[in-house]
Amino acid sequence: MAMLEIKDLEVFYGVIQAIKGISFEVNEGEVVALIGANGAGKTTTLQTITGLLSPKKGSILFEGQELTKVPAHKIVSLGMAHVPEGRRVFAQFTVYQNLLMGAYTRKDKNEIEASLAEVYKRFPRLEERKNQTAGTLSGGEQQMLAMGRALMSKPRIILMDEPSMGLSPILVNEIFDIIQSVSASGTTVLLVEQNAKKALSIADRAYVLETGKIVKEGKAETLLNDDSIKKAYLGE
């Protein structure tokens, strides 16, 4: 059974249909990429999975449990974390306070401390700046903070929305290295990414979304070498 299974999902904004009956799945341990142009419905898909939007139709199964009626804050405690587009850190709080907010569903203080140590090990810059307010961090550091905060909930799956957006090429590489290390440590990843080439280079499988429909799916390396994909998304 797939860890996350989306079936016939339809989502509307008022009268406009943003998602038109898509189905896809993410298996445990995979990195799955959703790629597509701006406005294809990628962010809408993630927001619907994490309970921020309600679908008109369809089902979202996470480890066999139907999520469409579960409130967003409960979804986190089931083991799903969301790194939203645009980072959305709490600017006036310190790095340390932001990270602790990621662990709000957990009770065991020792385990929270252990997770904090892990996040600092993965993101040494966050430890250096733990007492700084998040609003004073650079874009790349805020992205690391958003990822670190999501990891503090000890998720079984992490959904990342445009993690490389607005970052310099060096930082983009760093963020993708981190995504690979998160995956290597056993967390499943669903990645929405504008940078299709980068996403396909680290993903196991990918789905191509166009105006609310999945138009292609397959192994990431196959899609990387697909001429129509190269032309449309890889700028070749």
CATH class, domain 4-233, is: alpha beta
Q: Does the pLDDT of residue 182 top 70, yes or no?
A: yes
Residue listed under structure tokens 């298996």: 27
pLDDT band at 184 (very low <50, low <70, confident <90, very high): very high
Tell me what the mean pLDDT of segment 157-167 comes to: 92
Question: Whole-model pTM?
Answer: 0.92
Give the mean pLDDT of 118-139: 93
Per-residue confidence at 234, pLDDT binned at 50, 70, 90? confident
Q: Is the pLDDT of residue 183 over 90?
A: yes
Those residues whose C-beta lies under 8 Å from the C-beta of residue 63, and which sit 6 or more positions away, are 3, 4, 78, 79, 156
Cα 139 off chain centre by: 17
Angle at 2 between CA 18 and CA 78, to 5 degrees: 80
The full set of domain ranges for the chain reads 4-233
pLDDT range class, residue 105, cuts 50, 70, 90: confident
Cα 235 from chain centre = 24
Predicted local confidence at residue 236, as pLDDT: 60
Q: For 6-50, write each residue's pLDDT tens digit.
A: 999 999 998 999 999 999 999 999 999 999 988 899 999 999 999
Q: Are strands 57-62 and 65-66 parallel, antiparallel or unpaired?
A: antiparallel
